[in-house]
């Protein structure tokens, strides 16, 4: 009798653990305890979750362990999701909880009034410091000049993501920390490499540790989770040292950069419940620093790789640069409207190999609906931008790299509302303007100065890239020959 009771209880628990909420979007079966996690592809998960929509429709309902998840695929579902203000929350990020003593900090993984206040403050003061404005261009040009000289001096093939990553750090750090760092500094190279490993090791679904946090204590140091955690700790330590230097040298009446401005805000606040505390400054800098460096270097690296593989595109870009800019000065943001083919090429890179196939995961703040399906409060929402950018019914030939699709018949650049590499709505990426500006200036300057060829010692078999938190380029190195 006791055995029978145990069997009944176990069966009942397994049944309850496999149920889905009433009205939840259709999707694959929910396995007890682990949900869909054992079946989730870690390589190119954006393609895997898009394929599921062929069976279940544009909104796929599944579970990562006990966490309900709705995956929006296709323009209609993704647009509705991103514009629904009930879906702008953030799921708990486990590594953030560890780093910040159980709290969510920064601007990427927070929500509600805390997020609105911190985002507004950060964007306001970054703009005042010249963030993504014409006045910021001279800083970018200085960094590009050093980048070009470094590539000129290299006697071997070049790892573009590494050297461009150093430039991305310095461009961001000029606003955040007030000074450019020496390109020869080994700490800087290690930061770039650690960030790249961190983003490749990350899992968009969070992995098992996000579902069962105690499992992190059983993970080896080279596990994906600890690669992410240790990478974030290293970057946080770097930022902490900079903050300490700023605290020791700050002139409250003459703030030099974002760190000084934020420290002034902390020091001037008399509110015991203020969200402006040093831990939040560190977290904000970590968020902006990490995301901006890796995605920026990935975009430029993908762009160079793709034009190498499409020589007619490279030739057209160089011809346009010679005609519009010449060879006596670096390309400027003011040249952009005249460099239509070049701009269309970068636009096609954002569509074809955008660094973010998914937006950062969202969360339902309250019960709501998506494409007619019930989305309970607390549900994680994954917006599959790849499914929008590669939709054959809209783009016709999405798997062909073709910059001409973004050029109008009158020769002007064509804009398309379905190109949303930085997201859309209230959670749109706050670094979009700077990312577009820096990728344009670095890419055009490199194409102006060099002819690139692939190093045959590291052949590229496909351009799908390497998954992680974001999409990185495949491993490749290039030889750079001066054009003049």
Task: Read off the pLDDT of each residue in 9-28 and give the average, rounded to a whole number.
Answer: 69
17 or 351, greater pLDDT: 351
Three-class SS string for the chain? CHHHHHHHHHHHHHHHHCCCCCCCCCCCCCCCCCECHHHCCCCCHHHHHHHHHHHHCCEEEEEECCEEEEEEECHHHHHHHHCCHHHCECCCCHHHHHHCCCCCCCCCCCCHHHHHHHHHHHHHHHHHCCCCCHHHHHHHHHHHHHHHHHHHHCCCCECHHHHHHHHHHHHHHHHHCCCCCCCCCHHHHHHHHHHHHHHHHCCCCCHHHHHCHHHHHHCCCCCHHHHHHHHHHHHHHHHHHHHHHHHHHCCCCCCCCHHHHHHHHHHHCCCCCCCCCHHHHHHHHHHHHHHHHHHHHHHHHHHHHHHHHCHHHHHHHHHHHHHHCCCCCCCCHHHCCCCHHHHHHHHHHHHHCCCCCECCCEECCCCEEECCEEECCCCEEEEEHHHHHCCHHHHCCCCCCCHHHHECCCCCECCCCCCCCCCCHHHCCCCHHHHHHHHHHHHHHHHHHEEEEECCCCCCCCCCCECCCCCECCCCCEEEEECC
Q: Can you give the pLDDT at residue 3?
A: 53
The CATH number given to whatever domain includes residue 277 is 1.10.630.10
Tally of domains in the chain: 1
- The reply to whether the predicted model has a pTM over 0.85 is yes
Confidence of residue 12 (pLDDT cuts 50, 70, 90): very low
251 or 136, greater pLDDT: 251
Task: Read off the pLDDT of each residue in 322-338 and give the average, rounded to a whole number.
Answer: 97
pLDDT single digits (tens) 166-206: 999 899 888 888 877 888 888 888 888 888 899 999 998 88
Q: Can you give the pLDDT at residue 375?
A: 98
Q: Which residues form the domain of 460? A: 2-482
135 or 4, greater pLDDT: 135
């Amino acid at each position: 009798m006791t055995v029978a009771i145990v069997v009944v209880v176990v069966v009942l628990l397994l049944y309850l653990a496999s149920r889905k909420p009433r009205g939840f979007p259709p999707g694959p079966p929910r396995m007890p305890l682990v949900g869909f996690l054992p079946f989730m592809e870690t390589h190119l998960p954006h393609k895997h979750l898009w394929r599921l929509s062929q069976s279940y429709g544009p909104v796929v309902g599944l579970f990562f362990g006990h966490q309900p998840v709705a995956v929006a695929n296709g323009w209609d579902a993704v647009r509705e999701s991103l514009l629904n203000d009930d879906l702008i929350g953030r799921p708990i990020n486990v590594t953030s909880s560890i780093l910040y003593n159980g709290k969510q900090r920064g601007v990427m993984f927070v929500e509600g009034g805390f997020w609105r206040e911190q985002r507004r403050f950060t964007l306001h003061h970054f703009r005042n410091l010249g963030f993504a404005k014409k006045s910021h261009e001279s800083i970018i040009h200085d960094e590009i000049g050093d980048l070009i000289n470094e590539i000129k001096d290299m006697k071997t093939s070049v790892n573009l993501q590494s050297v461009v990553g150093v430039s991305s750090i310095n461009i961001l750090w000029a606003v955040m920390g007030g000074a450019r760092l020496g390109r020869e500094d080994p700490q800087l190279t290690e930061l770039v490499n650690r960030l790249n490993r961190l983003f490749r090791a990350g899992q968009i679904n969070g992995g098992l540790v996000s579902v069962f946090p105690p499992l992190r204590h059983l993970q080896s140091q080279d596990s994906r989770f600890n690669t992410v955690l240790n990478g974030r700790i290293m970057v946080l330590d770097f930022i902490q040292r900079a903050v300490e230097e700023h605290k020791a040298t700050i002139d409250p009446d003459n703030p030099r950069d974002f760190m000084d401005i934020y420290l002034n805000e902390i020091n001037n606040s008399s509110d015991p419940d203020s969200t402006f505390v040093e831990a939040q400054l560190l977290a904000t800098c970590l968020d902006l620093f990490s995301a901006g460096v890796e995605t920026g270097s990935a975009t430029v690296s993908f762009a160079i790789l793709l034009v190498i593989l499409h020589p007619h595109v490279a030739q057209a870009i160089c011809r346009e640069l010679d005609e519009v800019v010449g060879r006596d000065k670096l390309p400027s943001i003011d040249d952009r409207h005249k460099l239509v083919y070049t701009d269309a090429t970068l636009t096609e890179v954002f569509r074809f190999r955008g660094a973010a196939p998914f937006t950062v995961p969202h969360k339902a703040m309250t019960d709501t609906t998506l494409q007619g399906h019930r989305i309970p409060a607390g549900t994680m929402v994954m917006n599959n931008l790849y499914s929008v950018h590669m939709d054959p019914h809209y783009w016709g030939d999405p798997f062909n790299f073709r910059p001409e699709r973004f050029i109008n018949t009158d020769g002007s650049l064509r804009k398309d509302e379905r190109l949303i590499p930085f997201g859309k709505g209230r959670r749109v990426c706050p670094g979009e303007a700077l990312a577009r500006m820096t990728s344009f200036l670095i890419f055009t300057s490199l194409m102006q100065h060099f002819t690139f060829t692939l190093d045959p010692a590291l052949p590229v078999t496909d351009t799908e890239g390497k998954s992680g938190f974001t999409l990185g380029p495949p491993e490749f190195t290039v030889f750079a020959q001066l054009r003049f």
